Amino acid sequence: MSKKKKVNVIGAGVIGITTALILQRNGYQVQILAEHWPGDSNINYTSPWAGAAWRPHFYLYPKKNVDKFERISFKAFWSLLQIPDTGLMSTTIYDYMDKKPVVYRSDWFKEFFRVLPPYKLPPGVEFGLSYTTITINGPKYIRWLLKQFTIAGGKIKKVRLSHINESFDDDVDIVVNCTGIGARTFGGVQDSTVFPTRGQTVTVWAPHIKTSCFRSKFNCITYIIPREDGEVVLGGTYEENNLNEKPNLKTTESIIQRCRELCPELTSSKGAHALKILSYEVGLRPSRIDGIRLEIEEKKNSKGKDIIICHNYGHHSYGYSSSWGSCLEAFELIEAAITNERGNEKLNSKL
């Protein structure tokens, strides 16, 4: 028996923790290093600010394997629904699109979605789908995820790294890069193709809202996402390269107006004053020109020991929806890299 491989995962957002959990469940000895953790509120920590709903992203950004990742993740979330305290809830979603997208036609989507007949569409909407989905109370879900990791013996370390090499501890074999928007400025990483896409939301108390609604026109998506605890997240905006962490009043008003139009039941047909507002929030989606970066790099630490690096960042607006799938892919890349390394060692020993 070879001894357990040691892994440092950098980042404690939904991507870092999910990757850590999959590696741990497959026999690796895992530590998470991160500056921000579940429970923290910071503009540089995206996961707590997400709506969030599992919803395929029909027209945004280069997708690569995103639809495969979303499919795997849906199944994983579905199997977690029965567990208490995950922050997950199943719900029906009405997904309206002012322009019909092309991608929805893949086979899996066909069996999954019901296309709404034209008479059921609001004015101005060309195409609509309805399906059963899962909404995710982001802050609660990542707390639950982290707990699964720590009760199984996972180690955590609160630290801000200024360079990736600071994670190359002597006994570490593998480092996973799940730094989200941090990958833009992270020393040794500095991926200039990563950029923020600002999202502003309003969280209200509306336990009578049980269905989710989305309406998309180009880069403007209005959404209503009910959570299991009676809170409902209203959104949204997609503002590229806007780093303003303060909620903008005009944007708030626009969100509320768009959401009331989409779902009059929000205020039970009374005025906007009937809304019970809990908070105004801003998050920065970790966008990347070529989509998610899932890639292996081989490096050496200061003692000349080989270290496998696996990148897993740039999840834009689908970090939750694609989490289990993309983190499973990261795990598979790592396993393949180890097999490859062992093959090379064996070869070298014979030459």
Ligand X SMILES: Cc1cc2nc3c(=O)[nH]c(=O)nc-3n(C[C@H](O)[C@H](O)[C@H](O)COP(=O)(O)OP(=O)(O)OC[C@H]3O[C@@H](n4cnc5c(N)ncnc54)[C@H](O)[C@@H]3O)c2cc1C
Binding residues: 46-47, 179, 223, 285
Query: Total residues at the site for ligand X (CB under 6 A)?
Result: 41
Q: Is 87 in the site for ligand X (CB under 6 A)?
A: no
Q: Is 161 in the site for ligand X (CB under 6 A)?
A: yes
**Which among 180, 165, 169 has a CA at the least distance from the CA of 5?**
169
User: 294-305 burial, b if ≥16 CB within 10 A, otherwise e?
Assistant: beeeeeebeeee
- Residues in Cβ contact with 230 at an 8 Å cutoff, skipping those fewer than 6 apart: 205, 206, 207
Nearer to ligand NAG, 30 or 263 (CB): 30
Distance CA 257, CA 212 (A): 16
Binding-site residue set for FAD: 46-47, 179
Query: Total residues at the site for ligand NAG (CB under 6 A)?
Result: 20
Output phi, psi for 227, to 5 deg.
-110, 165
At 339 the three-state DSSP class reads helix
Binding-site residue set for D-dopa: 223, 285
Q: Is 325 in the site for ligand X (CB under 6 A)?
A: no
Site for ligand NAG in 139-178 (CB under 6 A): 163-167, 175, 177
**Selected binder of ligand X within 5, 28, 49, 69 (CB under 6 A):** 49
- Check residue 86 and report its DSSP letter: S
Cis peptide before 154 (omega within 30 of 0): no
| Cβ contact 81:90 at 8 Å | yes
At 37 the three-state DSSP class reads coil
**Selected binder of ligand X within 24, 91, 321, 326 (CB under 6 A):** 321
**Selected binder of ligand X within 7, 20, 23, 53 (CB under 6 A):** 53
State the residues that interact with ligand X by CB under 6 A. 10-16, 34-36, 45-47, 49-53, 160-161, 178-182, 186, 199, 201, 235-236, 283, 285-286, 313, 315-321
State the residues that interact with ligand NAG by CB under 6 A. 10, 42-44, 163-167, 175, 177, 183, 185, 188-189, 191, 297, 302, 309, 311
